[in-house]
Structure formats: structure tokens, C-alpha cells
């Protein structure tokens, strides 16, 4: 071996165990992989206190909230805390011009006032077990991907059905390390979840989208719900007879706060990360997908923001929609910037060069991994134009509400055309669609949607490669002489999908014959062309790419683990329960700038601006602030701490996760990441990546002093030291 090769190998083989802060670890492996490290960093409890199947542990107080957030139990009566933005769509759904809980907040003063939320659920992890061997039974290394997948699917089904036999828990097998390991996960889901309290938006969303993903932050991002169960303390759908759930474990709250350097950990359900991708995949995400999506979302947000500023009803109608469009928009900007500032692509390329040297150093490796990177690069090159078109279609055309809404009627139309579908089935489908009409139009402004149609379709039509445009574009451009505004105006004037009364006319006593109305509707025609193009021309390529990429990534992941034997790997996030741990720490976002690790209520008054919606401070909060009477919620320094940052590695889904201290006591609620570190889903940088947590004392201060909901505080348990 040449000296250079030896040097490369040394660099890659002698790697540190882990980068401080990086990693989302499996709770069941903590005792094996992380406990020592955590205790060295300051933790005073054990891995068994965090996760145990034999007795109650912290894990029993953590739930997956809805589809994509985390919440934690803080009382023996099933009271849970999550973020305001996690409860947002539920708070929004209960809001009207008369009862505007978004603006004014909501507090139930007794159990009977707590509001049910159909569709909302929370899920507990009951247990987790490595079943890799069972799942890989019958697999040989030279098997084709499709063959392998079929066997795995069968084995999975077997393991799941065996596990759920005679159990009241749901069993599912999930893949880890890109499909190299498998775990059986048993869960229990509760479906009667009621809204207990939410601060007004100018506390819960203070700083709005302007401050989103940024530090210094002053958002009181929390809301309060309660889990209900039947008389046997088991999951049950909503019923007046249900009672508050008695948990196995509820968290103890510490009012001591944290100090710089303190150990903390975040316990929750991170959604998706892709830390082990090759450079080309990162490049496609950061430099192709993100810029297109950012531009289209920016155009949409400009229109929504203007409409919301001018009209109170639109503000309520579009609050949740705007927030979700804006959230990922801003995340993508931060991510692409972070990737470029960190030279992440070059770093990955260097790693890949070292990888090739390692592979070529031995024939057995050459056989297994010799082509992996070239194949991967080629697949991505071939996929790029399709991925681009896919991004334009999903972010452009599908960003228009009427297009998505109209397409929802395609199935009814199909049923009407099929002779085999009986009339009463058609009536059932129409009734189902009719039930969705009021909810859809409650949050719909057709003037605004028309403007969005004109703008997004124009960008899509002009920037996307013509070979990748749905045929409706050519027809429309000929008909409206190149005017997207005229196209939009005509569609919205004539389409019944823009008007609730026309929709009701269609659906009242619906019969087969009326299907013609759907078929001839101009919005439906646009939708049909767009979705047909998606399904016929793009989806097959997208699916086959991801199938191939998944199998390439599996092999590449395996090879990376073989090469870096000294490194402890954590699996990418996949919405399973994880522990991230780190230290409370400020950072330096730019030359000559240092960020402190906490913010205070004084900062809220510094940011106050009565003319800007995001920075309005209510007289009550100002009063509480000037009195400086924070009682037991004050920090030792006398101020009211609002938020703090730490090096915990978190991602979307960790919203609402408890931030726990060295003793396992609740000190904060995770709600965001700092701007400079938003690339951490693709690559983590210990200097820049920070999670943002709401200080639990500010949350309780608002509940207790601002809302006067002392009844809730009474339910909670506090640490004595
Ligand atoms: N950025 C945080 C997260 O990803 C908070 C989002 C709240 N939404 C918003 N648009 N401000 O979930
Ligand atoms: N706000 C994010 C969420 O919904 C958490 C922030 C992040 O992505 O780290 O889960």
C-alpha cells in the first residue's frame, strides 16, 4: 500500500466514537452504546430510567402526538404538553370569528370544557425488539432487489401477525440503518384527545414566521391537551363517558432551570434524516429541489400574506395553511445555505474518495462495493430531470387548492362511468364528498386561490422543461393567448369547485347523470391533466428511482459501517422514539457575533411592535413583565427565561419533545432549531447545530399567571431539589 493510501485509511478507521451532540439514539441501545458517554457529560440517571420494559420509565410519559409531533405527560390525569404549532390546526379548527381561540387563547376551566378533536391521536411505544435475523431469513447476498423485498415483506407480515396475536397492541416492523436492521415495535394508540389550553397566538406564535427557525427566539410555543380513556383506562374513541387517562409515568418538573454547559436530553419522535447519503444526492436536494420549491412557495406566501393582512376572516382561514407552507420554505433556505457554508458536498466527495480507496484495497470489497458509487451517481444523473419536473408539479400545480380539491372528485366520476358500480354506492360516495364541503369552504378564499393559480401556474409553465408539462398547458396557452391571469379568471368564473353553493347543488340528490358536470368542469380538466401526467409520466420513474436508490443506500450504508469500525453509528430518524443528548451551549453564527444560550421576557418587550402582527404584546403580558413578579418561575438571576439552546440533534417530529435535565426532570419543551444549523438533517455540525427549547418555567408562568389556570399547575409534580 502506498503511504497515501495508508494515511487515508488511518484517517477513516481511527474515528472518534461520536461527535458531541450528534446522533438520535435508540432508547433500547442506550445502556450498550451511550450510557457511559451520557454520564460523563453529566447525566445522573441510568439508561434503565430512560427506557425499561420491566418497570415504568421515562418512555411511558412520551407520546407521538398526531402524525408528526411529540408530547409528554405531566400529570397523573393524562395531561400532556406539546407545542402550540403542533396543536395549531386543532386550535384553528375550534376557532371562528366569535370564538377566536387562535388570537385570544383558550383555557378550559374544568374537564367538561375540554374540547374533543376528532382525528387526533397519541401513540405510546410499548416495547421494541431487534428482529433482524427473522426478517432476513431466506435472503442471500446475491439476490435481486425485488426478490429480496418480496421475502422481507413476507417475513415482516409473519413477525407482525405473530406479535399482535392475542395482544391489544399494534405490531409493526420498521427498517433501520437503511434496511440493514429491523425492529419490531409494539404501540398503543389513544384516540380521545381533548384541548385543555392554548396561549394567544401573540405568545404561542410570537415572532411568527419572521423568527421561525431562528435564534434569539421568544416564542411561547406550547399548548395543553389531555388523553382520555374508557373506564378500564384503555384506548377508546370519544365518548362523554370517557375519563382522564391514568398514565404509568408522568414527568417531574424542575423549576431550577439550566445553566450553560448543563447536560440535557431530548426524548421524542424525530421524523426523517438522511445523514449517510452520497454527495450527489445531497446536491440534488440542496441545489435542485430546494431552489425550485423555495421560489414557488415564496410566490404563494406573498399572496397569502397580503390577503391575510387585509382581511380578518382570511387570517383565520389561512393561518394554519400559511404556517405549514412557510415552515418548510424557510427550512429549505436555511438548509441549502448551511450545506454550502459547510462545504458539505466537498466534504462528502472527500469521504467518497477515501471510500473508493478502502474498497479497492481488497478484492472481496471490490466485488461487493466496487460499483456502488458509480451506480449511485448514474441513477441520480438519470433521475435529475424527472425530479425537477416532479418538484414543479407538486409544489406548483398541487400548490393550488382548487386543483387538489377538484381531483378529489375523480373517483366519483370513475364510479359513475363503471357499469359495475351500483347506484347506492355512488350515492354513498357523493354523500361522503358532501360531508367534506363545509369544512373545505370554511377555510377557503377563492379570490386568493385564483391569484395563486395564476402565479404558480405561470412559473411552472414558463420554467419547467416543456417536454415535462401536462398537455393542458399547451391548450390553455393557445386559448388564452399566453395569459395565465385570463386562464385563472376563466377557470374560477366557471368552475363549481370554487363555490360552495354550486357544490351543494351538484351533490344534493346526486345521480349518475350529473357526472357530466364534473367531467366538463374547467378546474377538473386542469386537475385531470396534471394528475394524469403525474401518474403516467412521473410516478413510475420516481418509484423505480427510489426502489433502486433504497437498495443502493442499503449497500452503501453497510459498507460505511464496515469501513469505520471505530465509529458508533446511529440510524437515520424514522419517526421512532429516540434520545438525543448534548449540552446547553451558545454559538457563533457569524464573524464577531456570539449568541448567548438563553432569552428572557425583556427580549419580548424589545421586539414589541404594535403595528406588526408577529410582534404584538398584549397589555397583560407587558404588565406581568414590568411588575417583575415572576414568583417561583424566576431564574436565579431574577429574570424570566423564555427559551434556551443546546447541542441536541433534533429534527421535525421532535417538536413538543420534552427536554430533560441530568436528573431526568422536565426543564423545557423542544420546538425548533437554529437557522445556521438547519442542514443537520443531511449533515450535523457541532459548531452550528442547536435545538431550541421553551423554558418550562415560562410555559408554567403563562399557564399560572397569565391565564390563571392554577388548576392545571396543581395537577403537576415538581422536583423538590
Ligand atoms: N420551525 C418549527 C418546526 O419546524 C416551528 C414551526 C412553526 N410554524 C411556523 N410556520 N412558524 O416545526
Ligand atoms: N419545529 C419542528 C417540528 O415540527 C422541530 C424543529 C426541527 O425541525 O428541528 O418538529
Residue 143 has pLDDT above 90, yes or no: no
Residue 651 near ligand 2, beta carbon < 6 Å: yes
CA distance 447 to 461: 21
Residue nearest to atom 6 of ligand 2 (CA): 672
Percent of the chain with pLDDT over 70: 97
CA separation for the pair 84, 123 (Å, rounded): 19
Catalytic residue among 211, 221, 521, 681: 221
Contact status, residue 484 vs residue 457, Cβ threshold 8 Å:
yes
Residue 109 designated active-site: no
To test the pocket of ligand 1, the residue of 84, 87, 220, 655 to mutate (highest count of ligand atoms within 8 Å of its CB) is 655
Ligand 1 pocket: which of 672, 690, 691, 692 to mutate (most atoms within 8 A of CB): 672
Q: How far apart are CA 715 and CA 718, in angstroms?
A: 10
Q: Is 655 noted as a catalytic residue in this protein? A: yes
Ligand (nearest to CA of 673): 2
Mean pLDDT estimate for the chain: 95
pLDDT at 609 over 50: yes
Q: Is 680 in the pocket of ligand 2 (CB under 6 A)?
A: no
Q: How far is the CA of 240 from the centre of ligand 1 (A)?
A: 33
What per-residue confidence (pLDDT) applies to 142?
80
In the reported structure, the alpha carbon of residue 654 is separated from the centroid of ligand 2 by a whole-number distance in angstroms of 6
Nearest ligand 1 atom, CA 208: 11
How many CA atoms within 13 Å lie on the side-chain side of 358? 24
655 pocket-lining for ligand 2 (C-beta < 6 Å): yes
Hey, whose CA ends up nearest to atom 2 of ligand 2?
652
CA angle 619, 622, 625 (to 5 degrees): 150
Q: How far is CA 162 from the centre of its chain?
A: 31
Ligand 1 within 6 A of CB of 472: no
pLDDT score recorded for residue 11: 46
Q: Is 85 a catalytic residue?
A: yes
Give ∠ CA 437-443-448 in degrees, rounded to 5: 110
Q: What is the 3-state secondary structure (H, E, C) of 429-493?
A: HHHHHHHHHHHHHHCCCHHHHHHHHHHHHHHHHHHCCHHHCCCHHHHHHHHCCCCHHHHHHHHHH
Is the shortest distance between the CB of 649 and ligand 2 below 6 Å?
A: no
- Does the pLDDT of residue 10 top 80, yes or no? no
Task: State the Cα–Cα distance between residues 521 and 159, nearest whole angstrom.
Answer: 48
Report the pLDDT value the prediction gives residue 144, as an integer from 0 to 100: 83
What pLDDT sits at residue 97?
86
CA 289/CA 380 separation, integer angstroms: 13
3-state class (DSSP) for residue 265:
strand
User: What pLDDT is recorded for position 15?
Assistant: 41
Contact 664, 673 (CB under 8 A): no
Residue 212 has pLDDT above 90, yes or no: yes
How crowded is residue 136: how many other Cβ atoms within 10 Å of its Cβ? Answer: 17
Cα 358–Cα 362–Cα 367 angle in degrees, nearest 5: 100
Domain range list for the chain: 3-121+191-274+572-718, 279-557
Q: Is 305 close to ligand 1, i.e. is its CB under 6 Å away? A: no
Task: Please report the atom of ligand 2 found closest to the CA of residue 691.
Answer: 9
pLDDT for residue 588: 97
Whether the full predicted model's pTM is greater than 0.85, yes or no, is: yes
Any ligand 2 atom below 6 A from CB of 66: no
Predicted confidence (pLDDT) per residue in 69-93, tens digit: 999 999 999 999 999 999 999 999 9
One CATH from 3.30.465.10, 2.40.10.120, 3.90.1150.10, 3.40.50.10680 for 3-121+191-274+572-718: 2.40.10.120
Neighbours of 631 (CB within 10 A): 11
Cis peptide before 498 (omega within 30 of 0): no
Rounded Cα distance, 529 and 516, in Å:
17
Please give the full DSSP string across 527-548, using - where no structure is assigned. Answer: HHHHHHHIIIIIHHHHHHHHHH
Report the C-alpha dihedral over residues 250, 255, 256, 262, rounded to 10 degrees.
Answer: 50
pLDDT digits (tens, 9 = 90+) for 12-68: 444 444 557 999 999 999 999 999 999 999 999 999 999 998 999 999 999 999 989
pLDDT for residue 1 is more than 80: no
Lowest-confidence pick of 7-21, 348-362, 616-630, 701-715: 7-21
320-345 pLDDT, tens digit each: 899 999 999 999 999 999 999 999 99
Q: How far is the CA of 462 from the centre of ligand 1 (A)?
A: 31
The alpha carbon of 201 and the centre of ligand 2 are apart by a number of angstroms equal to 18
Q: Phi and psi for 63 in degrees, rounded to 5? A: -130, 150
Classify 323 as helix, strand or coil.
Answer: helix
Helix H or strand E segment including 526: helix 522-533
* CA proximity to 205, closest of 66, 67, 91, 79: 91
Summarize pLDDT for 454-504 with one digit per residue, the tens. Answer: 999 999 999 999 999 999 999 999 999 999 999 999 999 999 999 999 999
671 CB within 6 A, ligand 2: yes
Going by alpha carbons, the residue nearest to atom 11 of ligand 1 is 209
The answer to whether 705 and 649 have CB atoms below 8 angstroms apart is no
Q: Would you say the CB of residue 445 lies under 6 angstroms from ligand 2?
A: no
Residues β-bridged to residue 187: 125, 170
Amino acid at each position: 500500500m502506498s503511504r497515501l493510501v495508508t494515511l487515508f485509511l488511518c484517517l477513516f478507521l481511527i474515528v472518534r466514537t461520536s461527535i458531541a451532540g450528534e446522533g438520535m439514539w435508540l432508547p433500547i441501545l442506550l445502556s450498550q452504546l451511550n450510557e457511559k458517554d451520557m454520564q460523563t457529560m453529566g447525566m445522573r440517571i441510568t439508561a434503565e430510567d430512560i427506557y425499561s420494559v420491566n418497570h415504568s420509565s421515562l418512555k411511558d410519559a412520551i407520546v407521538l402526538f398526531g402524525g408528526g409531533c411529540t408530547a409528554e405527560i405531566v400529570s397523573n390525569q393524562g395531561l400532556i404538553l406539546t407545542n402550540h404549532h403542533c396543536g395549531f390546526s386543532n386550535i384553528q379548527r375550534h376557532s371562528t370569528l366569535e370564538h377566536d381561540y387562535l388570537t385570544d387563547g383558550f383555557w378550559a376551566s374544568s374537564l367538561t370544557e375540554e374540547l374533543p378533536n376528532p382525528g387526533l391521536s397519541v401513540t405510546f411505544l410499548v416495547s421494541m425488539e431487534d428482529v433482524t435475523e427473522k426478517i432476513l431469513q431466506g435472503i442471500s447476498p446475491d439476490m435481486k432487489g425485488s426478490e429480496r423485498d418480496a421475502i422481507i415483506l413476507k417475513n415482516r407480515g409473519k413477525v407482525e401477525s405473530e406479535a399482535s396475536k392475542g395482544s391489544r397492541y399494534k405490531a409493526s416492523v420498521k427498517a433501520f440503518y437503511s434496511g440493514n436492521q429491523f425492529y419490531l415495535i409494539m404501540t398503543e394508540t389513544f384516540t380521545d384527545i381533548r384541548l385543555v389550553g392554548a396561549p394567544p397566538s401573540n405568545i404561542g406564535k410570537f415572532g411568527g414566521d419572521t423568527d421561525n427557525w431562528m435564534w434569539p427566539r421568544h416564542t411561547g410555543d406550547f399548548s395543553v391537551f389531555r388523553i382520555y380513556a374508557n373506564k378500564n383506562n384503555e384506548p377508546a374513541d370519544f365518548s362523554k363517558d370517557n375519563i382522564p387517562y391514568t398514565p404509568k409515568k408522568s414527568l417531574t418538573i424542575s423549576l431550577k432551570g439550566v445553566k450553560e454547559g448543563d447536560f440535557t436530553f431530548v426524548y421524542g419522535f424525530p421524523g426523517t434524516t438522511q445523514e449517510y447519503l452520497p454527495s450527489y444526492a445531497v446536491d440534488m436536494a440542496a441545489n435542485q429541489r430546494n431552489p425550485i420549491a423555495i421560489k414557488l412557495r415564496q410566490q404563494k406566501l406573498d399572496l397569502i400574506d397580503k390577503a391575510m393582512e387585509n382581511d380578518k376572516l382570511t387570517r383565520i382561514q389561512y393561518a394554519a395553511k400559511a404556517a405549514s407552507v412557510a415552515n418548510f420554505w424557510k427550512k429549505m433556505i436555511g438548509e441549502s445555505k448551511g450545506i454550502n457554508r459547510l462545504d458539505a458536498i466537498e466534504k462528502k466527495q472527500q469521504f467518497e474518495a477515501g471510500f473508493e480507496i478502502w474498497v479497492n484495497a481488497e478484492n472481496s470489497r471490490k466485488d461487493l462495493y466496487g460499483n456502488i458509487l458509480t451506480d449511485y451517481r448514474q441513477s441520480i444523473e438519470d433521475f435529475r430531470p424527472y425530479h425537477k419536473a416532479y418538484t414543479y408539479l407538486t409544489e406548483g400545480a398541487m400548490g393550488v387548492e382548487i386543483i387538489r380539491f377538484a381531483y378529489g372528485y375523480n373517483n366519483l366520476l370513475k364510479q359513475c362511468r363503471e357499469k359495475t358500480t351500483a347506484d347506492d354506492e355512488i350515492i354513498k360516495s357523493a354523500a361522503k364528498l358532501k360531508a367534506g364541503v363545509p369544512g373545505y369552504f370554511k377555510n377557503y378564499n377563492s379570490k386568493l386561490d385564483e391569484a395563486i393559480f395564476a402565479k404558480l401556474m405561470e412559473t411552472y409553465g414558463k420554467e419547467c422543461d416543456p417536454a415535462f408539462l401536462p398537455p393542458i398547458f399547451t391548450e390553455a396557452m393557445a386559448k388564452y393567448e399566453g395569459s395565465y391571469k385570463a386562464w385563472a379568471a376563466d377557470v374560477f368564473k366557471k368552475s363549481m369547485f370554487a363555490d360552495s353553493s354550486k357544490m351543494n347543488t351538484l351533490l344534493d340528490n346526486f345521480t349518475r347523470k350529473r357526472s357530466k358536470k364534473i367531467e366538463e368542469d374547467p378546474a377538473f380538466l386542469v386537475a385531470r391533466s396534471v394528475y394524469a401526467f403525474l401518474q403516467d409520466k412521473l410516478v413510475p420513474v420516481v418509484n423505480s428511482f427510489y426502489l433502486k436508490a433504497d437498495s443502493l443506500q442499503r449497500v452503501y450504508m453497510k459498507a460505511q459501517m464496515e469501513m469505520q469500525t471505530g465509529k458508533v453509528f446511529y440510524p437515520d430518524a424514522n419517526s421512532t422514539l429516540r434520545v438525543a443528548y448534548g449540552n446547553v451551549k451558545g454559538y457563533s453564527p457569524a464573524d464577531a457575533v456570539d449568541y448567548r444560550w438563553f432569552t428572557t421576557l425583556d427580549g419580548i418587550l424589545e421586539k414589541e411592535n404594535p403595528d406588526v402582527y408577529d410582534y404584538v404584546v398584549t397589555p397583560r403580558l407587558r404588565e406581568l413583565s414590568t411588575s417583575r413578579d415572576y414568583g417561583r418561575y424566576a431564574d436565579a438571576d431574577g429574570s424570566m427565561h423564555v427559551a434556551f439552546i443546546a447541542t441536541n440533534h433534533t429534527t421535525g417530529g421532535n417538536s413538543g419533545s420534552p427536554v430533560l435535565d441530568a436528573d431526568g426532570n422536565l426543564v423545557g419543551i423542544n420546538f425548533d432549531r437554529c437557522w445556521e444549523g438547519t442542514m443537520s438533517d443531511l449533515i450535523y455540525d457541532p459548531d452550528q447545530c442547536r435545538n431550541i427549547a421553551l423554558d418550562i418555567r415560562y410555559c408554567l408562568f403563562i399557564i399560572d399567571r397569565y391565564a390563571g389556570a392554577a388548576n392545571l399547575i396543581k395537577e403537576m409534580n415538581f422536583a423538590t431539589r
